[in-house]
Chains A and B, each alone.
Chain A
């Protein structure tokens, strides 16, 4: 069997397994669906209720999707996957197989992407019902979501490999590192009201660029040309994420080797 064929087979196996596990964990699946729906519903109702805020509803929907729903499901989900592999003892077993680190990483990306698509459908169904609008190119929005999921999974690998050794530590790791990223990503406050130092720091936060890119397309109908800086940043960050993911997998191997 050729290496590329094995790589694809392994990627598919990992994605399929993760989706199957997600499907079997019914309770987790319900929480996963309830969280973005409730958030969109509550924020949407507040925005719709106040006439002065109504104009911001489109941007709020985009921000809730990229800055909150995908953050918790893709980044949090990836950290949980790594922690679970450790806890169940399946990590050493995976490390004894010819599973390529990049195939494992891409398998997680595909599984998270499929879950993200379902979250997008759910969240935007509610948003549109409340009165929000999606103004730009669906294709470009899809590309930005793909880049965002890829980046979140990369960060999730890093957090999971370095910080979350047990399931209980997932929440702590997410809070300690994820919440500052959310704040500096402009999820809760616009960048403009932050002190200059925070604004400068926010520029290296990938979440800011995900937010700005998706809000640009979804809420303001911007195109590739207007979003070229954000898109370039995200493409570069995706490359870094893949490297980070593979390196983190190797770190897991190294961690195991030093036992």
Chain B
């Protein structure tokens, strides 16, 4: 497998704020890698550096095996960026936006016509062919934005919280489209606040905090690092009693502000949990197999 992107120990300061503190990541061709982490952890900064919108202060980024700082401005065509805000020309029609950006990347007449028609079809934009982009809904604008970022067939697609500004229905549509890109072998680096998004779309996930990667791997690999196969979320008036019962049963627990998360060594039914916690003044309880959210909380933080 060829490496599309290799980020080696990069550092970035904004004044005295050390935003990236030895961040490293490798993205192989055909992979979809998700960057997850709390606000301000440096996710978007990484993407901006990869897209040459920001310079780095130390370290190195290799794009298709070549140092980013040695690539000419024409090499910007190797990357396609789709951010959360649709950066489009509102007075132009969808195809006109696509044509404009295609020309900037140097697509010539026949190839450009073909590519624009292809993207209009894939992204189902034909029905809005005569609608100025400014009159499209946020979800359709974001669809077009994604299409624009692909118009020059980039080697690496960078998605910066692509579904953050759209409604649930549009998010599902975008997920379906991104899945299609993944299945066709597009290399993608994405950031997201939606853990379900990363779980559904990514072949590998890097969990970030304070400008560095704390854990990385495929979703099953990350889940295997949790000391449990299922999680029970419990709310109780008597937290001490719940914790004592968990200790008696040999279950690990994590205490959060308003609930206790019990890490169960095997899949346990709700009935079994309720029976096990009998007499501990439980007011609410749910149980589910471990998810990326649990891995995130366990490996990045959020519980004690």
Contacts and interface: CB of A to CB of B under 8 A. Distances in A.
**Centre residue among A3, A95, A98 by max chain B CB count within 10 A:** A98
A21 B92 contact: yes
B76 A96 contact: yes
Nearest to A91: B87
Given A20-B92, A96-B79, A6 B87 contact: no
B257 interface: no
B81 A96 contact: yes
A93 B92 contact: no
Nearest to A100: B73
A150 B52 CA distance: 30
Interface residues of B, number: 33
A10 B73 contact: no
Nearest to A92: B53
Contact of B91 (A13, A20, A97, A256): A20
A43 B104 CA distance: 44
A13 B87 contact: no
Interface in A62-97: 88-90, 92-97
Contacts of A99: 104
B52 A96 contact: yes
A17 interface: yes
B83 interface: yes
B96 interface: yes
Nearest to B76: A98
A89 B74 contact: no
Contact of B100 (A13, A96, A98, A256): A13
A88 B103 contact: no
Interface string B55-89: 10000000000000000011111010101011111
Nearest to A254: B55
B132 A24 contact: yes
A88 B89 contact: yes
B289 interface: no
A20 B83 CA distance: 25
Contact of A6 (B53, B74, B88): B74
B103 A90 contact: no
A93 B282 CA distance: 52
Contacts of A12: 103
B91 A10 contact: no
A97 B53 CA distance: 10
A209 B74 CA distance: 38
Contact of A256 (B53, B76, B81, B89): B53
A74 B53 CA distance: 29
A98 B77 contact: yes
Interface string A180-199: 00000000000000000000
B105 interface: yes
B106 interface: yes
A13 B90 contact: no
Contacts of A1: 106, 108
Contacts of B81: 92-93, 96
Contacts of A3: 74
B119 to A, nearest CB: 16
A13 B104 contact: yes
A125 to B, nearest CB: 28
B90 to A, nearest CB: 7
Given A20-B96, A92-B81, A93-B148, 5 more contacts: A10-B106, A20-B91, A25-B91, A96-B52, A97-B105
27 contacts: A1-B106, A5-B106, A10-B104, A10-B106, A12-B103, A17-B92, A17-B100, A21-B92, A24-B91, A89-B86, A89-B87, A90-B87, A90-B88, A93-B87, A94-B104, A96-B51, A96-B76, A97-B101, A97-B105, A98-B73, A98-B77, A98-B105, A100-B73, A256-B54, A257-B54, A257-B55, A259-B48
